[in-house]
Chain A
Amino acid sequence: MNLFNLHNSLESYLVVAALLFGLGIYGLLNRRTLIGLLISSELLLSGASLNFMAFSRFLAPDPTTGQIFTLFIMGIAAAEAAIALSIIIAVYRNYQSIDTEDVAELQG
């Protein structure tokens, strides 16, 4: 295995994408603020997009498919970020906090 030829193998991209996905899961479970959760979910989405791009570059007969999927993931992620941030601002206005432990009115 040549260290300087890693960019021509599918597996190295898949490993990087898996690490990004794992970082996103770790942040999603460990974070305590709503904005931290949003940042972690962006990491999850970029891990998934990287997988799409790698498969489209190395395995798909039509290399545009993965790129178009990644474009749509970007559009959905931008919409998700806009909605989530406006929800966060509404929550902050009502609770004066964006900590996940303070927003617990329905906990019972």
Chain B
Amino acid sequence: MSSLFTAEGLAGLLFLFIVAVTLIGGIIATNSVRLPRAVSGLAMCLIGVAGLYYFLNSPFLAAMEMLIYVGAVCVTIVFAIMLADPGAEKRSGRQTALSGVLSFGVAGILVWGLVLLATSTMWPAVPVKVNDGSVTAIGHALLTTYSMVFELISVVLLLAIIGALVLARIGRDKA
């Protein structure tokens, strides 16, 4: 057992903390009755995921996660909650308790299978890396190997903007 008070030990402690933040945020996001609280849980969970990306040698992706998910998607969801004003989630359905148990069972079986698969597989040895995965390497790959996908996703985003504007106008007065 390595000592806690080395750089490695502190990094391991930080990793456990980040994993706890991610999972607690996910539990808040899926279980809270009030939607603003669920969005806060989602933001907490995504901040944890950004920390995990940092541990996976990708500070660029961690920054993008903070910008796009925590900064843009969560704020957009908060705006939609303000516009739609749902209040507390209604719990009047007849089989809510049963549906909770059933969905927990389905998710539990799925997680059990995935964890079993992840821990029992013999993963191949670490291959020789062809580059260091830095931001420079990502930029080169985006504009050479993946340039077609890069162009296509900009078209997708443009269509999403136009589609969102058109959809949100439906049913509004022409005033």
Contact = CB atoms under 8 A, between A and B. Distances in A.
Interface of A: 2-7, 10-16, 18-33, 35-36, 38-40, 42-43, 46, 49-50, 53-54, 56-65, 67-68, 70-72, 74-83, 85-90, 92-94, 97-99, 101
Contacts of B156: 75-76, 79
A67 B60 contact: yes
20 contacts: A2-B1, A3-B16, A5-B8, A7-B55, A16-B22, A18-B114, A19-B111, A30-B100, A32-B93, A39-B30, A43-B30, A43-B45, A49-B49, A60-B127, A70-B53, A71-B138, A79-B159, A81-B73, A93-B171, A99-B89
A27 B106 contact: no
A26 B107 CA distance: 5
Contacts, number: 264
Interface residues of B, number: 94
Given A7-B12, A53-B61, A64-B138, A72 B130 contact: no
A35 B29 contact: no
A33 to B, nearest CB: 6
A13 B130 contact: no
Nearest to B52: A50
Given A33-B35, A62-B130, A67-B138, A42 B73 contact: yes
Contacts of A29: 99, 102-103, 106-107
B118 interface: yes
Contact of A6 (B15, B79, B107, B160): B15
Most-contacted residue by chain A among B60, B111, B149, B157 (CB, 10 A): B111
Contacts of B138: 64, 67-68, 71
A43 B146 CA distance: 26
B154 to A, nearest CB: 9
